[in-house]
Structure 1
Amino acid sequence: MATQKLYAGVKLRETRGRLGLTQKVFADRLGVSLPYLNQMENNHRPVSAAVVLALAGEFGLDVTELSAGDSERLVSDMREALADPVFADAAPPLADLRLAASNAPALARAFLELHRAYRQTHERLASLDEALGREGAQTIVSPWEEVRDFFHYCDNYIDAVDRAAEHFSCPKGQHFDPVLRATEALEARGIELHLSDIPELRRREGNQLWLSSRAHAPTRAFQLLHQVALLTQNDLLEATLDLARFQSDTARAIAKIGLANYFAGAALLPYRVFLQAAQDTRHDLERLADLFGASIEQVAHRLSTLQRPGAKGIPFYFVRVDQAGTITKRHSAARLQFARFGGACPLWNVHQAFETPGRFLRQLAETPDGVRYLCLARDISKSGGSFHAPVRRYAIGLGCEISHARGLVYADDMELSNPRAYAPIGISCRICERRDCHQRSVPPLERRLAVNPDARGLLPYDIA
């Protein structure tokens, strides 16, 4: 089998820029000629094995970063955007999308931003016709989606915030109870903590902080650490927001909540201690939840963020889906990406989790690109704490590529080497090229259709 060539010009340029080196100095330290480096940085030549070794030895670079990053996400996101009927006669081939993602990622993101603005405008015109005559009406980018994309393209790993949270829970490398540390931090600032039967999860007024007695202990711990992040890490959070350059104050405010949540999760499950425990337990979510006093959802989400350079964990995907099939949280450190708009593939086991409450479902799955995954799913119910309070129900999905499956307790007794054990799944119907899927809702992008009124198979058309 031929080895896939590695084109990583953007990553090379970013690395050189981060080090503050000229092309000449960078080429000398890599042991290549200046023209050769220039060709690699412009993706006219693949990165050679000797250069990969030099990057690791000379600069300590985690060489997995050369092939990781935004490229797969951008390709997946562009394919989904191009499934829009407006591109029906102009959709470029997959090879062109891959070239754009690797050679011009800024242009690819600009295209996605433009399509998102178009889609939102189209939806407003369809549902709010009266706004057409309103003076001063204007189109704005959804702050929620802007923030979601920020975390998406940061690999859901914010290094400075992650390390600050680890230092908070593990000063001088020793792991302390984060709830105790949080309580001490509040006391040092003259803030009184109360556990009370309040309708909110958390409320602060001046030097008084209330946590809901209705909430479960992991939720209270998380909310406590969130408030500590706002009080003790404000300068760090604001500096991170300055670098992100959000388009609106609303997006910035939502992102600040997201960063405080990130700190809370990272303090509750500090990086190195949690990574070691995950490896020791073979990523048993229930055992990890007990060890750290966390919820299963908190543990699953944290596993998907263990992407610190030089100390990476298994690249997991993590997703949360509501009962309508809408993705409410999504992140993937693996090659598997999720639909930005609409629901996920109905053949994915995350949808079946609602039928088997309290149980982990396991699934071996294969995507149309031939990559195989071990997929876990479980329902999550969040009670409101009283008879009349609504119960929120979600399903979470966690998984990794099959090459990492032996590191998970959930892979035990599964037929990992049996091709027939893998269920065919996709990202969304518009970009899934499977011709014989009995759950297909719409035709795939970039495929001609043949319609025969005198014959009917699984679908009312044939896919060329």
Structure 2
Amino acid sequence: MAIGKLYIGRKVRDLRDGKRLTQAQFAERIGISTSYLNQIENNQRPVSASVLLALAEKFQIDIAELSSGESDRLLSALSEALSDPLFETYSPSLQELKLVVQNAPGLAHALISCHQAYRRNSEQLASIDDTIGRGASFVETTPYEEVRDFFHFVDNYIHEIDTLAETLADELGLGDGDNHAALAAYLEERHGIRVVRGAAGDEAIRRFDPRARVLTLNPYAPAATRDFQLALQIAQTRAREEIDRVAGSAGFRTEEAYEICRIGLQNYFAGALILPYQPFLKAARELRHDVELLAARFGASLEQVCHRLSTLQRPGQKGIPIFFARIDRAGNITKRHSAAKLQFARFGAACPLWNVHQAFETPGRIIRQLAETPDGVRYLCLATQITKGGGGYRAAHPRYALALGCEISYADAFVYADDMDLGNRAAYDPIGISCRICERTRCASRAVPPLKRKLIVDHDMRGALPYRLSES
């Protein structure tokens, strides 16, 4: 596959700084002139294929890591922000956006944050909410959004936490026998924490009494959930220092965001402990990403497996770039991450043509879809419904749809693609990211017009929509 022009000056400069080399020393290592390296680092010239190969050979790095990663996600978020009518007099080219993202990522993040504040303030004004004027807190990024963006822009992979969990999983022999017994024994023997069954009528999934050193688990929760809660308790004890250090270095504005991030990192450790990186990556390849077989092999839930597949972004040992999302029946995206080009919208609902919505109509099945986004990229999309909770007939059982997929160039690594006509263009459904930024002009499922298209209203003709969209 041909490599397009790459302006990756910041990444090259960070690599050089990490090796503590001068420009002259670094340029000599990769066989170019100091002036050429200076131009690369300042994004005045793109990186050639020969320089990319030299970087890979001399510094043992993956070329894909230089040409992708945070930049793809930041580029998508910045592009969405600038599609707002607020910027109707300015339509940056893709190359301009790439230069900002690659050379001034801090500026891009700041602009995205400003746009988020503008959106929230506009929504307050539109609804004539009585909270208008109560202070800046109504237009600032919420703690939850701040933490969500933290995980999003680090590629949902935390190396320090992941490797720590993997080392402990190997020590405990997880995946080779009864995970529950091994996790409970570790808590009692190493940390003096006794695990007991919860009492009837107690709806809590997990309770920990730090004084008595007793962890109480809901006996009616699924086995995978109970194991995850054991692993989470281990995260709070064994990985406390590492988790606090990562959360503390993120620079959150509030204590709330810091504490929410700690919960997220504890959950991350728990998932990495039950599904340790290298054994899970090897099994995913061997089983061709059959999520049901992976869940059975590791004693995990489908959601845990799908989420973990989207985090396999360890430098030098990356898995397939996968997107993952969890969506409720109202269409709200309650979990999301994408290591693929497909990036979920930060505002609005998901595209109604996406097969994830059909999962609620076919419980117990994994449904498949070949889809193409407006930029021409094609995907294999998988979706299935799950039911959460336990506790009997009268207990709440919320239902969600899980979405999982990859670019079509990786589809051969999935068992689900075996009998699909991947080469037939007509087999691909047109989908978008969300209606407000989708540029398709003839979509009958459109909920709202795109932000930067003029509407054409013809009182003498009515199609699927009460308006048409201008082509430019």
Q: Scaled by the length of structure 2, what TM-score is found?
A: 0.93
* TM alignment of 1:101-180, pairs within 5 A: 101-126=101-126, 129-132=129-132, 139-171=139-171, 178-180=179-181
- How far apart are the structure 2 equivalents of 1:361 and 1:91? 38
Q: Which range moved further: 134-143 or 15-24?
A: 134-143
Structure 1 counterpart of 2:203, one-letter code: P
The Cα shift of 1:171 comes to 2.7
The answer as to 2:192 corresponding to 1:186 is no
1:30 and 1:186, CA in 2 relative to 1: closer, same or farther beyond 3 A? same
The Cα shift of 1:172 comes to 9.6
Structure 1 counterpart of 2:165, one-letter code: A
Superimposed CA distance per residue, residues 359-384 of structure 1 (whole angstroms, 9 cap, x where no aligned partner): 00000011111111100000111134
CA contact (8 A) 1:327 1:342 kept: no
The Cα shift of 1:450 comes to 3.2
Structure 2 counterpart of 1:141, one-letter code: T
1:383 and 1:183, CA in 2 relative to 1: closer, same or farther beyond 3 A? closer
Superimposed CA distance per residue, residues 138-171 of structure 1 (whole angstroms, 9 cap, x where no aligned partner): 6542000000000000110111100001001013
Structure 1 counterpart of 2:198, one-letter code: S
Q: Which range moved further: 329-338 or 113-122?
A: 113-122
The Cα shift of 1:117 comes to 2.0
Matched residue, 1:20: 20
- How far apart are the structure 2 equivalents of 1:48 and 1:90? 31
* TM alignment of 1:28-107, pairs within 5 A: 28-107=28-107
* TM alignment of 1:20-419, pairs within 5 A: 20-126=20-126, 129-132=129-132, 139-171=139-171, 178-187=179-188, 188-197=190-199, 198-206=202-210, 207-419=213-425
CA contact (8 A) 1:320 1:327 kept: yes
- How far apart are the structure 1 equivalents of 2:382 and 2:281? 19
- How far apart are the structure 2 equivalents of 1:253 and 1:145? 13
Matched residue, 1:462: 469
The Cα shift of 1:56 comes to 1.2
The Cα shift of 1:242 comes to 1.8
- How far apart are the structure 1 equivalents of 2:3 and 2:12? 20
- For 2:131, what is the secondary structure of its paired residue? helix
1:172 and 1:228, CA in 2 relative to 1: closer, same or farther beyond 3 A? closer
Structure 2 counterpart of 1:189, one-letter code: H
- For 1:339, what is the secondary structure of its paired residue? coil
Matched residue, 1:428: 434
Q: Which range moved further: 377-386 or 270-279?
A: 377-386
The Cα shift of 1:457 comes to 2.9
The Cα shift of 1:385 comes to 1.5
Superimposed CA distance per residue, residues 111-147 of structure 1 (whole angstroms, 9 cap, x where no aligned partner): 0011112223333455574334658976542000000
CA contact (8 A) 2:294 2:305 kept: yes
- For 2:249, what is the secondary structure of its paired residue? helix
Unaligned runs of 5+ in 2: none
- For 1:244, what is the secondary structure of its paired residue? coil
Q: Percent identity?
A: 55
Superimposed CA distance per residue, residues 385-439 of structure 1 (whole angstroms, 9 cap, x where no aligned partner): 2322221111000000111111110001100111110011110112211111111
Structure 1 counterpart of 2:117, one-letter code: A
CA contact (8 A) 2:7 2:99 kept: no
Structure 2 counterpart of 1:78, one-letter code: L
- How far apart are the structure 2 equivalents of 1:99 and 1:156? 24
CA contact (8 A) 1:7 1:40 kept: yes
CA contact (8 A) 1:170 1:176 kept: no
CA contact (8 A) 2:205 2:217 kept: yes
1:54 and 1:92, CA in 2 relative to 1: closer, same or farther beyond 3 A? closer
Q: Which range moved further: 358-367 or 429-438?
A: 429-438
- For 1:435, what is the secondary structure of its paired residue? coil
- For 1:24, what is the secondary structure of its paired residue? helix
- How far apart are the structure 2 equivalents of 1:202 and 1:241? 23
1:79 and 1:136, CA in 2 relative to 1: closer, same or farther beyond 3 A? closer
Q: Scaled by the length of structure 1, what TM-score is found?
A: 0.95
Structure 2 counterpart of 1:203, one-letter code: R
Superimposed CA distance per residue, residues 50-99 of structure 1 (whole angstroms, 9 cap, x where no aligned partner): 21111111111111111111222222212322343433444544443233
- How far apart are the structure 1 equivalents of 2:291 and 2:463? 43
CA contact (8 A) 1:363 1:376 kept: yes
The Cα shift of 1:453 comes to 2.6
Superimposed CA distance per residue, residues 275-324 of structure 1 (whole angstroms, 9 cap, x where no aligned partner): 11111111111111110000011101111111111111111100111111
- How far apart are the structure 1 equivalents of 2:174 and 2:138? 53
- For 2:288, what is the secondary structure of its paired residue? coil
CA contact (8 A) 1:169 1:181 kept: no
- How far apart are the structure 1 equivalents of 2:324 and 2:135? 43
- How far apart are the structure 1 equivalents of 2:174 and 2:463? 63
- For 2:18, what is the secondary structure of its paired residue? helix
- How far apart are the structure 1 equivalents of 2:214 and 2:105? 47
- How far apart are the structure 1 equivalents of 2:18 and 2:406? 30
- For 1:210, what is the secondary structure of its paired residue? strand
1:136 and 1:336, CA in 2 relative to 1: closer, same or farther beyond 3 A? closer
Structure 2 counterpart of 1:416, one-letter code: L
CA contact (8 A) 2:175 2:297 kept: no
Structure 2 counterpart of 1:170, one-letter code: D
- For 2:334, what is the secondary structure of its paired residue? strand
Structure 2 counterpart of 1:199, one-letter code: E
- For 1:186, what is the secondary structure of its paired residue? helix
- How far apart are the structure 1 equivalents of 2:445 and 2:94? 24
Aligned-pair Cα RMSD in Å: 2.1
